[in-house]
Chains A and B, each alone.
Chain A
Amino acid sequence: MSVKLTEEMLKALPDARGHFGAFGGRFVSETLMDSLMTLEKQYNELKHDPEFQARFDKELADYVGRPTPLYFAERLTRETGGAQIWLKREDLCHTGAHKVNNTVGQALLASFLGKKRIIAETGAGQHGVATATVCARLGLECHVFMGAEDVQRQSLNVFRMKLLGAEVHAVESGSRTLKDAMNDAMRDWVSYVDETFYIIGTVAGPHPYPMLVRDFQSVIGRETRRQALEKTGKLPDALVACVGGGSNAIGMFYPFLADESVQLYGVEAGGLGIETGKHAAPLCAGRPGVLHGNRTYLMEDENGQIAGTHSVSAGLDYPGVGPEHSWLKDIGRANYVSVTDDEAMEGFRKLTRVEGIMPALETAHAVAYAIKLAATMDKDQTVVINVSGRGDKDINTVAKLEGIEI
């Protein structure tokens, strides 16, 4: 089923209870309800407050370094031999990934709400670094929860967070990755709810988070739309973004949802292959359930226990996904696909060697799929890859895979 989306329909979503069709909502314990309702109310007011929006725009321009370029990957296009491949350079944002667009916005919200203690969960560490960064700048206390396994594989980012003055809590429970970091962040939040602002790093969590993170990240798609019209004279034919929780993807997709001609591709982590069960691709291979405050596609067993995930990239290693993506999947507006660890590594090497741009391993999933896609398209068509982050943080992982010690 495919539905033609109008601007009016999109403005009405999520509904007053935070639902995107059958997905989203607010499934949390009672202690957090009041805080979430207050946050929703204040955000809805600030969203239309010119002073708040002006401050946000100024932060994005002067601190994050926006707009980021839309770059024509000429050699990659030539080698691929299909559609023109363009790169939206979120890797050039301050701190090296799109995550900071959202942390700047939420930190601004926190300061309007008068909260001085910030918590965050992180997988790859990019969101943790982006949060620690804005906290350093605003003089806020910062606690980052990170799965013990991710603390190991993203040690560079752990050190960065510490340098920035954040306290990093290694989470030893469950699978010791992103989902467990999120559990512990929620537990901390419930314990210090009055003084704490929880900066969630992706479009997941209870309402209003999926909405407000989307709004903050939508600057990616708005810029891309304008830049594509300027540089190519038309809208892109396809947009490709990796999907962990889905924030860089929704940020790119959202401003194009009503443009029927633009095909949307969200690329999930196929890990060792969907058929092996060792992956992190809930939209490709999961089913709807409830986790971390919202109803969405999940990886779970037949008894409703959340399944273990696997991905070479820590930022995609999550069994759920933002509820708006679940809705976009069910109405047929966006396509969700997956690429394996190996394919992603190939994408990583390709972009590095051919364009001199080293992408994050998360981003490498989008690169790998976009190359396959572009090859099937005409030369006068255009594909935009959202380069969500740069790969410096993954050097240790890549070296290890290649058997090199550094």
Chain B
Amino acid sequence: MKLFKKSLLKSLWVFHLPLSPCNNCDIEIVDALTPRYDLERFGIQLVGSIRHADVLLVTGVPNYKNWQKVKYLYEQAPKPCFVVAVGTCACGRGMFKDSLNSPCNVDEIVPVSMYIPGCPPKPEAIISGVVKLVERLKSNKL
């Protein structure tokens, strides 16, 4: 079991789920995967299908069109699956908090394991967030 857990932490495959963001957070996520930062060192890969994913990177604010789909997608992912909210929007909706077309926060729909604030967060912040997620998982706090 310990081996399986270790191997899970060493190869987190990331699925990128944009919920109508302003696109800056997405650019920063893609930036974190470029050769300069090279997340493949830690075994982190961007995958295209939710079935392959271990981590759901959520960016942006949920709106009435997509907030149920987040739940639907989370249920489709093979467990264990962790949700990471990237950007102020996904963490707490920021300036869209009282907006008329946003029903709720991301963490009211799915359980969020890690928040990475910033508008947008720097790639360094994203990497340190992922590292903190791995450390929390290691010490069994989740």
Q: Are chains A and B native binding partners rather than an unrelated pairing?
A: no
Which positions in B face A, CB cutoff 8 Å? none
List the interface of chain A (C-beta within 8 A of B). Answer: none
